[in-house]
Structure 1
Amino acid sequence: MRSPKLAALELKRFGRGKLPAAALVALLLLPLLYGALYLCSFWDPYGKLDKLPVALVNDDKGATSDGKRITAGDEISKKLLDSKVFAWHEVSSAEAEKGVEEGTYYLSLTMPSDFSRKIASSGGDSPETGALQVRTNDANNYIVGQISKTVFGEVRNAASTNASRGFLDRIFINFSDLHDKTAEAAKGADDLKGGISKAKQGSKDLADGLKDSKAGSKKLSDGIVKLNQGSRDLATGSQQVAGGTQVLADKVNGIAGDLRPFFKDNGKSIQDTARLVADTSGAVRHNLDVLVKTAPTAATGARKAADELAEIHRAQCEEAEEPDATACPPLERAKVTSEDAAKIAADVNTLVTNQNGDLKKLSTQLTAFQKQAEALAKRAPTLDDDLASAVAKVNELNTGAKKVAKGAQALHTGLGTAQTGSSNLDTGVGKLKTGAENLDGGLFRLGDGSAELAQGLNDGVDKIPDYDKKDRDARTDVMADPVQLASKSLHAAPNYGTGFAPYFIPLSLWVGAMVAYMLIQPLNRRALAAGASSWRIAFAGWLPVAAIGTAQVGALMAVLHWGLGLQMAHAAGTIGFLALVTCCFAAIVQWLNACFGAAGRILVLVVLMLQLTSAGGTYPVQTSPGFFGAIHPYLPMTYVVEGLRRLITGGPLTPVWLGCAVLAAFTVGALALTAFTARRKQVWSLSRLHPELSL
């Protein structure tokens, strides 16, 4: 018996009663439970967000900026209520928190009390970011929280754009102010250039002056060195003088100690004696003057008298014939005496004549001595007091000498410091001279730089924009929202259900094949017992399920298209591709059931789970753990999902043709394995007669 007849006989079993017929109908409609119902529930959730209850809390108190009232919270609330993105409920903060916690609201959006103030701060000194507060509760629904992030992201961008408009408008207004201020700065730079030229001349004069100061400081340093050496000698000499005055003071004090009692007790005697000496000195000086005047006359008279006596003596006694014996001896003595007197007078006259200068000096000295004696006589009563005063002055001299010595030493020390300071001054003036020369060079460069600055500022004035209100408004609109998302979706899916259809449709067809082989034998037992060809047996078990699967495809796609509104870019191609898919799935499920028996049903579920997790039907397989990415290319549902996406939403059909080839290969391979299994099943064994597990 041929395979089609065997398949027909298998299907005729479902017409032998109401229950088998009902089972066949249920089998045909089973994919609808997975495909149509799933897609119906997920068909367009984003289009019905306006049915989600969401709390809206507006605590914003508003703010004032540049004299303008800002109520950002009210503006956003109005736009949200008008947009009807969610089913908004305006409530208080406490009600919103309680509602989200209890599940009354899926989430809440709160505009805090300082929302407008923070937005207005963008133009102030301390800008702050205004925060929209979103509260979700994943215990209510996790997906709603994810959807809200996308929706509220757009709300935040819109609010940020509005806030940026005012800030940017102030920036463009400030451009005009900057233009004017830059013009003023350019004029100031021109003035600065002139001032720097004057400063350069001044720095040159300063450098020349410091050059002279350097020479002067060198001379000052050398002079202080010499002065310091002299002060050292002065300090040494003053120390010696101080030592001498100390010795003098000691001696004077010692002598005064001896003389003062004598002066005190003999003042009157000293006065009388001094007066006597003064009188005697006066008399001697007077007689000395008389002597000087009378000595020549006396000498002449004495000589004349001596000569006369000699002549008388010669005449009376020597030449007389009869000298007078009585008179001659006395006359002889008189002659001798007069001769002696004449000689003495002559000697006195000679002495006076020869010593006239000395006598005059002696007279002068006697005059002075007389005055001194008179002065002594006058001061004799006060000699004790005068001596005490003199001693005091000597002591003062000694004290002063010590102070002079100490001051000279201090002067020497100070001049040593001054010598160091003058040396440092000389070095410092040298550095100042170098610095002044550098300053002169720097001012030269500064002059060039100021010229460039002035030129640059003048050029910059022309480059700084000066916008009017129309230009400001246009530029503010662009910069507040500079990037527009020009989104273009190639072969866009119109809704959520269309996007998930390539995933749920093969799932339902696999389940349909799995349930079909729960009702239909994978291998016809009569054919096995009759020893029919293994390929004929394999086809006989596969064709009924393939036919049922094709009918399932028709029923499922009819409901999806006319019931849910699924639009397909390639409707005929989709139907044909799904027919191949259901034939492939039927072949794989047949082999698993035929080869492994009762355990095969479990393996069918395992293979289904592996395909669902690795096909990339929801999220890209790259986001899954590595194991699923590794098995992704080796399972048929991978190619089914890729092919259906192109057939339903459009695009190049290369994945479709690749999928057809892979599915055909899986189908042929599974049928070959089933035929091999049928060949083995024609040989009976104890394990077949008494299986370990049966379902």
Structure 2
Amino acid sequence: MLKSEFQNLRNNKFLIVLIIVLSLVPTLYTTIFLSSIWDPYSKISQLPVALVNEDKACDDNGNTLNIGAELTRTLADEKPLAFESVDSQTAQAGLKNGDYYMVITIPEDFSKNAATLMNSDPQPMVLSYEINPGENLFASKIASTAATSIKNSVSDKVTQTYTEVMFKQISTLKTGMNQAADGATAINDGSEQLENGNQQITANLSKLADSCLTFSDGAKTLSVGLTQYTDGVGELSQGLQQLNGQLPTLTSGISQIQSGTNHLNTGIDQYTTGVGQLADGSQKLSSSSDSLNAGVSSVADGINQVKAVNGQILASLIQNQPQATATDLSGLSDSTTDILTNTKSIQNDLGSLDAVIESLKTSADPQVQAQADALESLHSSLAVNSDIIGDSASRIQNPGNSTPETASTGNTEQLIQALSGMDQGLEQLQQGMNDENAGLISGVAQYTAGVNSVTAGLQALNNQSETLATGSNGLALAMTELNNQTPLLTSGVVQLADGSSLLSANSSQLISGASQLANGAGQISSGSSQLAAGSQTLGNGIVSLKDGSQLLAGKMSDGALALAAVNTNDKNIEMFVSPTISDEESFSTVDNNGTSMAPYIISLALYLGAMAFCLFYPLYDKNDKPKNGVAYWLSKSFILLSVSTMQAILAITALMLLNHLSPVNVVATFLIAWITSLCFMSFTSLLRVVLDEGGSFIALLVLILQLSGSSGVYPVELTTSFFQAIHPYLPMTYSIEAFKQTLSIGTQGTGIGEYTIVLLGIMIVCIALTCLTYVLKTKKASKSLPLLLKDTD
């Protein structure tokens, strides 16, 4: 049968061409299809994406934030995708007509929101992107992944920036925590003082509660006193009104005072002039006091002489009275003449004393006037006595018509009386002259001393005249200023009067307030008692505060030590921003997308190749009239084996040469490809042999089920429950897993043994069933052939 099969091929050139073409089906499919998707991820940077930057720079604590511009520059430099910076309208138009697969928009508040991270109401940084999955889902997924990566990159950058700020604050917090620990200790110390102080407060509040009772009584007394006060305010208001009425008089009086001050100023000028003149006169009077002293001394000497002579005459007359003669009287007359002469001299001196006394009386000095009065009294006494002496001397000197004879009898006695009277007068003159307290000599001495004193005082007064004049001028200026300020005084009095009226009008409110104060005093008394009780409660709280502050100080110290152990350098910031890194340990290596898709595409291509060959190649021809079913099966199986082998070898070889597929295990890859091709060829040939054209249809249905349930593109876990249920029963499930082991996973995987056994098992079952089908069909054909021959005959 095999020989006849080859003979048939030689005779039918079309079958040879068909075998060759169908053997290339898997190769063409795998090579062409995988080349189109071999490494699309390496060309992601060519995927056009529109970038619209509407961000506006903002100020953040003195730093300018322009994240949108920085992000645009970064994307332009790194080129993860083919970013094009365009405006919003251009971007939307490009997304609509397919020029762009995605539009990323950086809104105008992007930088502004970044600055709100530490605010009480932080705003998110919205990075908007728009995709068009209908144009290409794969491109949209890639673009979305890129957008997410960009978002994460921006987030990491913002996180790093604020982490740096936060770590700086932690450094500041370290210092602050130490200070807080010290402060907590101080609070503990202060709470102890506070406890002591609160105890004093509690005690004093108790005193206050007691004192408030006294205060309440005082408030009542105050209310009564305020009533009296308001009455006084009314009287004050009336008095101020009267004062206001007298203001014109006050103004007039001040003007008059000013006028009088001007007159006083003029009078002081005159006074100072008079003082100067008086000082000059006093100086002259002082100069004449020496002459006065000499005159007084001369008078005193004359009186003494007269008294001596008078005494002698009186003594002589008394002794010689009966024997008095004319000669004696003649001598007496001479003596009397001397007495009269001295008396005249005394009277002349007293006359000059009159001028001095009159001059002294004109002095303004009280002491000088007193001296003048004393001198005038002495002068009067001396004048009287000197007149008596003069009269007596005149009678003695002019006795009348008496003769010596008669004088000796009658006039001698009169003469003695006269001389005695004159002696008494002289005695009084002496006393008047020599008395230490009231004598003329002492008086003149006092007068002289007084004159000198007056002279010195007047000189000093004259020296102060200029000061007096200056003060008078100042007084005049002050009165002028006072007169000028009188309107202001008037205005003030008017305002005071108005204010007193207002105060009087509000007196009733004041009295009412005093009553309220009295009521409030009672409330204060009650409140102070409550306050004292609250202070005791506060004391308990202070004790708790003390204990808590001590605990706080300990915890603060522990916290400060814990913060001291926190490092805030650049490495820590990086760790904080990215606390985890991907320690990727690849269990297998897949160089590109083509290698990843190869297990699925090779399995699919081999199945399509087997299905196409079985569809076009005649696997059972009734015209062949086989006599042995097994031999017939062997002839067909040899062709199937040959085509399956060529399909597997050509497919893998083309992928390695043209697409640069690099299997981890080349031999195992060829082996699995060969076994898979045989398995699929056995399966599709079985369907074809058993069911003819119906078998090809069933093979197509099985292909559809395998495309969906063999997890060639997506993990089976991502499919529906139906496909998860049929997944273990699909041949491609095992071929795909086997190719994964040989192409990428290698020796680290589970190996190909399990998958090979399953594929071989399916192949053996299919071969056995196909052989059996050939045997049955051959026997059936053999039985029907004699019947056909008999009918023909």
TM-score, normalising length: structure 1? 0.63
How do residues 294-309 of structure 1 correspond to structure 2 at under 5 angstroms? none
Cross-structure match for 1:397: none
Q: What is the CA–CA distance in structure 1 between the aligned matches of 2:197 and 2:691, rounded to whole Å?
A: 110
Q: What is the CA–CA distance in structure 2 between the aligned matches of 1:475 and 1:201, rounded to whole Å?
A: 48
Q: What is the CA–CA distance in structure 2 between the aligned matches of 1:450 and 1:484, rounded to whole Å?
A: 43
User: Which of 555, 558, 575 is the aligned partner of 2:670?
Assistant: 575
Tell me if the contact between 1:123 and 1:170 (Cα under 8 Å) persists in the aligned partners.
no
The answer to whether 1:489 aligns with 2:586 is: yes
1:612 deviates by 1.7
Question: In 2 relative to 1, CA 569–11 (structure 1 residues): closer, same or farther, beyond 3 Å?
Answer: farther
1:660 deviates by 1.1
Question: In 2 relative to 1, CA 70–454 (structure 1 residues): closer, same or farther, beyond 3 Å?
Answer: same
Cross-structure match for 1:304: none
How do residues 61-140 of structure 1 correspond to structure 2 at under 5 angstroms? 61-140=56-135
Q: What is the CA–CA distance in structure 2 between the aligned matches of 1:530 and 1:103, rounded to whole Å?
A: 62
Unmatched segments (≥5 aa) in structure 2: 214-518, 786-793
User: Which of 608, 629, 636 is the aligned partner of 2:731?
Assistant: 636
Tell me if the contact between 1:646 and 1:653 (Cα under 8 Å) persists in the aligned partners.
yes
The answer to whether 1:667 aligns with 2:667 is: no
Residue type of the partner of 1:668? I
1:104 deviates by 1.6
Q: What is the CA–CA distance in structure 2 between the aligned matches of 1:633 and 1:460, rounded to whole Å?
A: 61
The answer to whether 1:23 aligns with 2:119 is: no
Question: In 2 relative to 1, CA 595–564 (structure 1 residues): closer, same or farther, beyond 3 Å?
Answer: same
1:684 deviates by 4.5
Indicate the SS of the match to 2:83: strand
Residue type of the partner of 2:157? N
Indicate the SS of the match to 2:647: helix
How do residues 316-331 of structure 1 correspond to structure 2 at under 5 angstroms? none
Tell me if the contact between 1:568 and 1:647 (Cα under 8 Å) persists in the aligned partners.
yes
Question: In 2 relative to 1, CA 503–50 (structure 1 residues): closer, same or farther, beyond 3 Å?
Answer: same
The answer to whether 1:461 aligns with 2:560 is: yes
Indicate the SS of the match to 2:51: strand
Please give the root-mean-square deviation of Cα atoms over the aligned residues, in Å.
Answer: 3.3
The answer to whether 1:441 aligns with 2:540 is: yes
Tell me if the contact between 1:110 and 1:134 (Cα under 8 Å) persists in the aligned partners.
yes
Tell me if the contact between 1:639 and 1:655 (Cα under 8 Å) persists in the aligned partners.
no
The answer to whether 1:597 aligns with 2:692 is: yes
Question: In 2 relative to 1, CA 654–196 (structure 1 residues): closer, same or farther, beyond 3 Å?
Answer: closer
Residue type of the partner of 1:94? Q
Name the larger-Rg structure.
2
Cross-structure match for 1:503: 600
Query: Which stretch shows the higher mean deviation, 480-489 or 501-510?
Result: 480-489
User: Which of 743, 764, 769 is the aligned partner of 1:648?
Assistant: 743
Per-residue CA deviations over 1:504-558 (Å, capped at 9, x if unaligned) read 101111111111112323335467x3431x4433333333122111101111111
Q: What is the CA–CA distance in structure 2 between the aligned matches of 1:12 and 1:551, rounded to whole Å?
A: 21
Per-residue CA deviations over 1:636-655 (Å, capped at 9, x if unaligned) read 11110101000000234535
Cross-structure match for 1:615: 710
The answer to whether 1:199 aligns with 2:194 is: yes
Cross-structure match for 1:547: 642
Question: In 2 relative to 1, CA 466–530 (structure 1 residues): closer, same or farther, beyond 3 Å?
Answer: closer
Q: What is the CA–CA distance in structure 2 between the aligned matches of 1:106 and 1:590, rounded to whole Å?
A: 46
Residue type of the partner of 1:171? M
Residue type of the partner of 2:18? A
1:459 deviates by 4.1
Question: In 2 relative to 1, CA 91–15 (structure 1 residues): closer, same or farther, beyond 3 Å?
Answer: farther
Unmatched segments (≥5 aa) in structure 1: 219-417, 690-695
Q: What is the CA–CA distance in structure 1 between the aligned matches of 2:750 and 2:175, rounded to whole Å?
A: 65
Question: In 2 relative to 1, CA 524–430 (structure 1 residues): closer, same or farther, beyond 3 Å?
Answer: farther
Report the count of equivalent residues.
478
Indicate the SS of the match to 1:573: helix
1:214 deviates by 10
Residue type of the partner of 2:44? L
Q: What is the CA–CA distance in structure 2 between the aligned matches of 1:488 and 1:128, rounded to whole Å?
A: 39
1:121 deviates by 2.6
Q: What is the CA–CA distance in structure 1 between the aligned matches of 2:622 and 2:756, rounded to whole Å?
A: 32
Tell me if the contact between 1:106 and 1:137 (Cα under 8 Å) persists in the aligned partners.
yes
**What percent of counterpart residues are identical?**
28
The answer to whether 1:160 aligns with 2:161 is: no
1:217 deviates by 12
Indicate the SS of the match to 2:105: strand
Indicate the SS of the match to 1:57: strand
How do residues 363-374 of structure 1 correspond to structure 2 at under 5 angstroms? none
Question: In 2 relative to 1, CA 153–10 (structure 1 residues): closer, same or farther, beyond 3 Å?
Answer: farther
Per-residue CA deviations over 1:59-93 (Å, capped at 9, x if unaligned) read 22222223222222222222222223322222111
Cross-structure match for 1:171: 166
Q: What is the CA–CA distance in structure 1 between the aligned matches of 2:530 and 2:53, rounded to whole Å?
A: 72
Tell me if the contact between 2:95 and 2:103 (Cα under 8 Å) persists in the aligned partners.
yes
Residue type of the partner of 1:675? C
Question: In 2 relative to 1, CA 86–653 (structure 1 residues): closer, same or farther, beyond 3 Å?
Answer: closer
User: Which of 56, 59, 63 is the aligned partner of 2:54?
Assistant: 59
Tell me if the contact between 1:539 and 1:671 (Cα under 8 Å) persists in the aligned partners.
no
Tell me if the contact between 1:108 and 1:135 (Cα under 8 Å) persists in the aligned partners.
yes
Q: What is the CA–CA distance in structure 1 between the aligned matches of 2:6 and 2:121, rounded to whole Å?
A: 82
1:605 deviates by 0.4
Residue type of the partner of 2:115? A
Q: What is the CA–CA distance in structure 2 between the aligned matches of 1:597 and 1:20, rounded to whole Å?
A: 19
Query: Which stretch shows the higher mean deviation, 546-555 or 430-439?
Result: 430-439
